[in-house]
Amino acid sequence: MQRLEAELGIPLIERDSGGVIGLTPAGRRFLQFAPQVLEAAQAAELAAVAEPAARLRVAVPAGVGAVAPLMPAALATLELALSHAHPGVGVVLVPTLFERLDPDLISGAVDAVLTFGVSETAGVISTRLGELRRVGLVPTGHPYTYRRSVPVAEFARQPLLYSPELPASYMDPFVLADVRPLGEAALVRVPASRTSDVAGQLLSGHGITVIPAALAAALPPALKQVELDDVPACWYYMHHRAADARPELLAMVALFADFTQTITRAAHAPRH
């Protein structure tokens, strides 16, 4: 412990003449993140010594990696678990334009899609994963940035960004279709193929939006997260082709339930 304190340059433990009496404030903060750091280090060590011979390709919306820094560590943990049951099999996230998510799955360009609703496409199986926690996203200076939280019913009455080219299973959670009928919504139609397109529209001031809390961990200063009260529960889903029943693929789908729970819990952790 003393060697760790020397490396960090700060005391982690409070001591008196009788010995250890507790953790310092820095020690408590370090303890909060130590398990995640250790887990990521173990996964990195495994990756360094055992490059997967085969990779399952999972499509995710283009641009999420830039605003979801928790995903690499969670993915490394998933790969570690998958490698125990299926040695030599890894997972790679494939940034994919919104409109290509389902077509790339059907064509075989990817093996699965991580998304937010049940697929309506024939020949596709949808598996419910962990809970999808939603938050509002507004430009800095919007009146909601000065409130601790906003009732979701109130947020749903505001102009919300909407891309009608996307499947309802993808868009509905983010236009709050489970809060009031879409016919009653003030929707602002926008062209969007990636998360950066949505950010650009937000900054134009034409509307606001809802996003997964896991994507709000590293927002640019021009955008602000807004907590929503009384949001109905919804979930992440993973889609894969019904004809593809490879054991390693089905094992990966099951593990993604833990993956989505991990990024949701991390996003919900108190901020300091």
- Supply the DSSP string of 44-105, one letter for each residue: HHHHHH---SEEEEEEEETTHHHH-TTHHHHHHHHHHHHHHHSTTEEEEEEEE-GGGHHHHH
Q: How much of the chain, in percent, has pLDDT values that exceed 90?
A: 36
Task: Please choose, from the candidates 65, 62, 73, the residue with its C-alpha nearest in 3D space to the C-alpha of residue 265.
Answer: 73
Q: Can you give the pLDDT at residue 263?
A: 72
Beta bridge partners of 2: none
pLDDT at residue 200 greater than cutoff 90: no
Measuring CA to CA, which residue among 178, 145, 142 is closest to residue 159? Answer: 142
- What class does CATH assign to 134-229? alpha beta
> For residues 55 and 7, what is the distance between their CA atoms, to the nearest angstrom?
37
State residue 258's pLDDT score.
85
pLDDT of 271 reads 47
Give the pLDDT mean for 132-138.
92
> C-alpha dihedral over 158, 159, 161, 166, to 10 degrees?
90
Q: Across the chain, what does the average pLDDT equal?
A: 81
Taken in order 82, 86, 88, 93, is the CA torsion positive or negative?
A: negative
Q: Round to whole Å and give the CA distance between 74 and 40.
A: 8
Q: Is the pLDDT of residue 135 over 90?
A: yes
Cα distances from 262 to residues 64, 131, 208, 256, 258, in angstroms, run: 16, 10, 27, 9, 6
pTM (two decimals): 0.72
Higher pLDDT, 226 or 15: 226
> CATH topology of 45-131+235-268 equal to that of 134-229?
yes
What local confidence, expressed as pLDDT, does residue 272 receive? Answer: 44
Tokens for 220? 């640019």
The tens digit of pLDDT for each residue in 166-185 reads 777 788 999 999 999 988 99
> Could you tell me if 124 and 241 are in contact, meaning their C-beta atoms sit under 8 angstroms apart?
yes
- The confidence band for 228, taking pLDDT boundaries of 50, 70 and 90, is very high
Residue 193 has pLDDT above 70, yes or no: no
Alpha helices in the chain (DSSP H): 2-8, 25-49, 64-67, 71-85, 101-107, 152-155, 168-171, 195-203, 247-268
pLDDT band at 268 (very low <50, low <70, confident <90, very high): low
Strand pairing partners for 150?
228
What is the end-to-end Cα distance of the chain in Å, rounded? Answer: 24
In the prediction, which pLDDT does 95 show?
Answer: 87
Does residue 222 or residue 39 have the better pLDDT? 222
pLDDT computed for residue 60 by the predictor:
87
The pair phi, psi for residue 40, each rounded to 5°, is -65, -40
Q: Report CA-CA distances (Å) from 263 to 25, 74, 195, 253, 255.
A: 25, 7, 18, 16, 13
pLDDT beyond 80 at 252:
yes
Per CATH, is 45-131+235-268 categorized as 3.40.190.10? yes
DSSP at 208: B
Domain spans in the chain, listed from the N-terminal domain onward: 45-131+235-268, 134-229
Per-residue pLDDT, 97: 84
Q: How far apart are CA 180 and CA 119, in angstroms?
A: 21
Q: Are strands 223-229 and 124-131 parallel, antiparallel or unpaired?
A: unpaired
pLDDT tens digits for 151-169?
999 999 999 988 877 777 7
